[in-house]
Amino acid sequence: MMAELYRGFGAAGTPLACLWASEDAVYGRYGFGTGTRGLTVEINSSRPLALRIAPDERPLRLVDPADAPALLGPYYERTRAVRAGRMARTERWWREEWMVEKDPDDDDMSPPRIVALGEPLAGYVIYRTKSDGHSPGSVHIGELEADTPAVAAALWRYLAGIDLSHKVTAWARPLDDPLLHFCADRDQVRVTGEETGLRVRLVDVGAALRARSWAADVDVVLDVRDAYVPANAGRHRLSVRQGTATYEPTDAPADLDLDVRELGSGYLGTIPLRELAHAGLVTGHTPGAADRFDVALRTDLAPYTADEF
């Protein structure tokens, strides 16, 4: 099955194969690395959310789920390139995944509610609520997007102020979620979990490296191991100049030895190669090579994926 996947992707000229989480023990051995990580964040909303910045005070408005794809879709498409790992969405995806009335994992959840801020749109949140019987209920965030920290603060303040609730839970938030910094009390806002979201497999290493954007110039020789796609294996020189990458076979000594799985983990910028080197999974032969490669791979914001598939 995996051999057919690699063959088909190669024939189609598709350099990346991606899948949602699943089992690391299974897909890791086939070369899938950690593409994105997500945090589970919990807010104690039994009291007002304490903030260190002033929220955007423009009015919030409820959005009918039937109108959400037309309103949120263009905003999402306009902003999704800000973070690596976010996928394109069709109107059908909005309606059948995000706006579905019954939560597929919990029958006790309310239908989705959407709150938007700004005209034109500057941010939104999709959430559901759940009653805990005779005790205060909870608020569960599907997605929260904001143009600025002030807009995000306004949306989080609203969520923490929903009547008859004592807890706000947000799953698969970015590792660098601004909430964790602009909240005034980290005892009120806690990270309760961290999980892998997207897994990335470089089916064509050269094409994948040439296709991505780069934060800095770099010249490094990689000796890549790939037990399933022989064309990826061996020494190649990656040279990035002014945002353009070349990747060519070479007989020059390797600066870094690594498996295609580790290269996949670093590809979106989620896991620095120097950390993988400290773990014994990347071998450096040239001092500072992993650090220089990490600088080139860096993205301004942490990669992030909220869509399961």
Give the pLDDT score at 134. 61
Spatial distance between the Cα atoms of 123 and 143, rounded to a whole number of angstroms = 10
> How large is the average pLDDT for residues 262-287?
96
Give the pLDDT score at 56. 98
> How large is the average pLDDT for residues 65-73?
95
Answer whether CATH 1.20.1260.10 is correct for domain 204-297: no
**What is the dihedral sign for C-alpha 99, 100, 105, 110?**
positive
Helix ranges, 100-204 (H): 149-160, 179-182
> How large is the average pLDDT for residues 185-209?
96
Q: Which residues contact 45 (CB under 8 A, 6 or more apart)?
A: 139, 159, 160, 161, 162, 165, 166, 167, 168
Give the pLDDT score at 293. 98
pLDDT in tens, 229-265: 999 999 999 999 999 999 999 999 999 999 999 999 9
Task: Report whether 258 contacts 282 (CB < 8 A).
Answer: yes
Average pLDDT, the chain: 94
260-267 helix and 289-297 helix, angle to the nearest 10 degrees: 40
| pLDDT beyond 70 at 135 | no
Give the pLDDT score at 184. 98
Give the pLDDT score at 214. 97
Q: Please state, for a pLDDT cut of 90, what percent of the chain lies above it.
A: 83
Spatial distance between the Cα atoms of 98 and 303, rounded to a whole number of angstroms = 20
Give the pLDDT score at 131. 85
CA distances from 148 to 89, 152, 155, 177, 305 (A): 22, 6, 11, 12, 19
Spatial distance between the Cα atoms of 109 and 43, rounded to a whole number of angstroms = 18
Specify the higher pLDDT residue, 27 or 170: 170
> How large is the average pLDDT for residues 201-214?
96
Segments making up each domain of the chain, as ranges: 37-196, 204-297
Give the pLDDT score at 265. 96
**Quick one: pLDDT band at residue 203, thresholds 50, 70, 90?**
very high
Task: Report whether 201 contacts 31 (CB < 8 A).
Answer: yes
**Quick one: pLDDT band at residue 20, thresholds 50, 70, 90?**
confident
3-state secondary structure of 246: strand
Answer whether CATH 3.40.50.300 is correct for domain 37-196: no
Spatial distance between the Cα atoms of 265 and 281, rounded to a whole number of angstroms = 11
Give the pLDDT score at 37. 94
Active site residues: 27, 309
Specify the higher pLDDT residue, 33 or 2: 33
